[in-house]
Amino acid sequence: MIKILEYGKVQNGEIFARVVPQTKVEDIVADIIKNVRENGDKAVFEYCKRFDGAELASLLVSKEEIDKAVKEVEPRFLEVLKKAAENIRAFHSKQKREGFEIKRENGVVMGQKITAVDRAGLYVPGGTAAYPSTVLMDSIPAKIAGCEEVVMVTPPNREGKINPVILAAAHIAGVDKIFKVGGAQAIAALAYGTESIPKVDKIVGPGNAFVAEAKKQVFGAVSIDMIAGPSEILVVADEKSDARSVAADLLSQAEHDIMASAVLVTNSFELAKAVSIEIEKQIPLLLRAEIARKSIDNNGKIIVAPDLLKAIEISNEIAPEHLELCVDDPFEYLDKIKHAGSVFMGRNCPEALGDYLAGPNHTLPTSGTAKFSSPLSVDDFVKKTQYTYFTRDALKEVCEDVAFFAQKEGLTAHAKSAVIRFEEK
């Protein structure tokens, strides 16, 4: 059963305790990465056979396989995928930025230009669940940014096939190449390249502990989006909130993973008790009831705060991945929210809306990293290049200042590089 904690009557350590996954996979992942770097496709094929049970003739998903998959997907679901893609494109198109240039009267020109990374790599988990939403959320911003090529990797089943809904989503999103490989070996292949799989500049997408560790180890050879932790939801709800809806929203994250955390912060002890009862009613009805049960029992909590402002203070300290503001006028409190991955406003905005259809990205900072990180966006697929132009007269105006500054740092060659241009030959 979910814990109910009264703020001010228990230790803050219990209020703000966070799930910390314990994994010891560093050495295994390091060996996989080394093997893929040294042996390329040969290593990847071997890992596909060992871990996925698939003997593949080719890693690349063919156009025929993609076309067949699109035909196999339920027409209504295809339409929903297209609607979601439209919303995601509309939202992320607003994120695209232009460079700038500053021109001064003395001829100095300074500026910044924005350039997309050449090739983006997208990891899409396989296993027991298929997440076409991840395909849309992670590839569409890359396309909007202007990446020349978006490469997707995802593990095959034992027959060497990819779930049709994953391929359909990739088709709708405009993914350029898809490869049948998952796990740490997929991350290694994207980071260093193999005979079949091209080296990318940025790797994005969620995965298990092996994938997360591999992303950590290849960082530097490539850029990565983030090291994602377990799913999180925090609901701030007042005394007028519907206990059934709040319980359902909490369980929407609890069903993800036994390590997921669902937290309610409320100013009403009555709502806290009602939500606790509702959670117990709803868990047995879930398809993933066993997962949700463990998540709620081990990581779930209800925090009773003296008022909504304190509830938001608590939320800011936790810095959740998903934050729901279940109040009549959520915009009244929006400016007080400092740290959250994505905020769902009002009583009619379940977090699931953001997972699938609304448009804002669902790849979000977890584990408190919302204090300094942002959702995946077009910005993740671009880089900024500065440029500077000085005329001879403009350099002469500041030459002595540059040299003086350099000498203060003990860098005489720096100083010389400025003044030498005005010394007699």
Give me the active site residues, please: 321-322
In 3D space, the residue among 233, 395, 215 whose CA is nearest the CA of residue 320 turns out to be 233
Residue 231's alpha-carbon distances to 26, 128, 261, 306, 317, in angstroms, are 22, 17, 6, 27, 17
Quickly list DSSP for 198-243: PP-SEEE----HHHHHHHHHHBTTBEES----S-EEEEEE-TTS-H
Reduce the secondary structure of 232-297 to three states and give it as a string: EEEEEECCCCCHHHHHHHHHHHHCCCCCCEEEEEECCHHHHHHHHHHHHHHHHHCCCHHHHHHHHH
Residues 6 or more apart whose Cβ sits within 8 Å of residue 84? 133, 136, 356, 357
Q: To which H or E segment does residue 191 belong?
A: helix 183-192
| Cβ atoms within 10 Å, residue 398 | 14
| Cβ atoms within 10 Å, residue 282 | 16
Q: How far apart are CA 152 and CA 112, in angstroms?
A: 30
Q: How far apart are CA 248 and CA 233, in angstroms?
A: 11
Q: How far apart are CA 224 and CA 207, in angstroms?
A: 13
In 3D space, the residue among 202, 45, 52, 197 whose CA is nearest the CA of residue 126 turns out to be 52
Q: How far apart are CA 251 and CA 19, in angstroms?
A: 16
Backbone angles phi, psi at 199, to 5 degrees: -70, 135
Residue type, 135: V
CB 41 within 8 A of CB 59: yes
Classify 230 in phi/psi space as left (phi over 0), alpha (psi -120 to 50) or beta: beta
